[in-house]
Structure 1
């Protein structure tokens, strides 16, 4: 069976200064749009080819199976499918669940570099799940029983708690919340059982986090991720989980750009 068509937003062109394309990988409940608001134009304007995919069943990507049964392995295959179409291996940038997917993708593949933004740590989603249960036990129980979670992340105040800082303008939170969609229940279970193996990853890694991200990924988990990949984390103050949409996203993008330039990428 042919793979389902995947949505890919593709901007800019590779240049002599930046020959490797950037492939951006979104997190749970999101799609390629979260990178298109700011990051794709930022990097395209600096001489990179910048692409963002939507996992199957997300955004405008079709799916060959029901959403609830999509696995982390399916998402890794989606990244591999898009990367295989590129003329050279891409630098892969993953956010949240997308960072977890990137870690799994890099176990068996050589790329110029990987970037993890507020990524789920190598030890998986357990910490995030415990925090959700402690703050909203009935939400957690209902989601676990039904396999449906959108109703508990898409209201504006719920989206703020999970994805943004307390000071983020309401319009930014509302614009994101309106575009969120249901996530696969299977992928959530995989985030506890199908853990990455950092020792198999050979690519240099940049690990970034947000100091006001306490619901999805804590600063301590960001530092643990950096240690697993033999590097040090950079954390951005006054910023929540959705680092590519928060006010101050330019500082995050510029940091990535500077790191890539320092490595000749």
Structure 2
């Protein structure tokens, strides 16, 4: 059983539900802090899923063995339970999962927020190796990474801007959990997206103070999907939790409204 947080209802103005897909080490809670309520208040049905083994979602095999295909199947399971195909909105690793989902599933629109690019997570992994070579080597051998991101200082470096209040950073750090080592390999080389298979219109958003994905990588994502990237200043990787999250939500709301969604 997958954990699904479901808020709001579809409306005449917004007849299509929104399905939010979290990134590595997170769960549906990261959308529930601000985004689900915002979109529910604006007349949408807003749904967030926790991948298997994340949040309150059950799992039937070791987490370390979960694959990108497993996470795509989780998204599809929730999407198929809705009355109509939802808009899919993915953050970070969840952005890669959304890209893979859209290769074989239809959606009226999609949003990629600070997403892993179609070229994979090579750039982010290499930067981690250069900055913290000891951590990177230990992660490669043990398949465990949580201990390197779950203190406030580590979480701020990866996920937040320097201006984010300490309580926001500390709360996120305390909620992070281990993720699949197999998925990290999939995102590096084994299960990279094929943009040529995706016909869904995409909105590509980036954060100027992103500690995970560079502006160049976000622009490459947008280019692959024949669009232009949009960036938010003074914002870190966790765009749905950062101060200024309202501007991100408003941009998505406006973009969807322009498409009658």
Q: With the length of structure 1 as denominator, give the TM-score of the two structures.
A: 0.98
Q: Which runs of 5+ in 1 are unaligned?
A: none
Mapped partners of 1:163, 1:40: distance in 2: 20
Superposition RMSD in Å? 0.5
Matched residue, 1:83: 79
Mapped partners of 2:121, 2:202: distance in 1: 20
The question of 1:188 aligning with 2:161 is answered no
The partner residue of 2:145 within 144, 149, 153 is: 149
The question of 1:223 aligning with 2:223 is answered no
Matched residue, 2:251: 255
Mapped partners of 1:255, 1:248: distance in 2: 12
The question of 1:52 aligning with 2:52 is answered no
Matched residue, 1:206: 203
Query: 1:51-200 residue pairs with structure 2 within 5 A?
Result: 51-193=47-189, 194-200=191-197
Shift of 1:205: 0.3
Mapped partners of 1:242, 1:218: distance in 2: 14
The question of 1:21 aligning with 2:17 is answered yes
The question of 1:239 aligning with 2:239 is answered no
The question of 1:40 aligning with 2:39 is answered no
Mapped partners of 1:54, 1:110: distance in 2: 21
Shift of 1:64: 1.2
Mapped partners of 2:14, 2:103: distance in 1: 24
The number of aligned residues is 260
Q: Which runs of 5+ in 2 are unaligned?
A: none
Shift of 1:61: 0.1
Mapped partners of 1:183, 1:51: distance in 2: 22
- Which runs of at least 4 in structure 1 moved beyond 4 Å after TM superposition? none
Mapped partners of 1:56, 1:26: distance in 2: 12
Shift of 1:16: 1.0
Shift of 1:112: 0.5
Spell out, residue by residue over 1:117-155, the C-alpha distance to the aligned partner (whole angstroms, 9 max, x if none): 000000001001000000000000001100000000101
Mapped partners of 2:172, 2:119: distance in 1: 28
Q: With the length of structure 2 as denominator, give the TM-score of the two structures.
A: 0.99
Shift of 1:109: 1.2
Mapped partners of 2:206, 2:68: distance in 1: 22
The partner residue of 2:26 within 30, 49, 65 is: 30
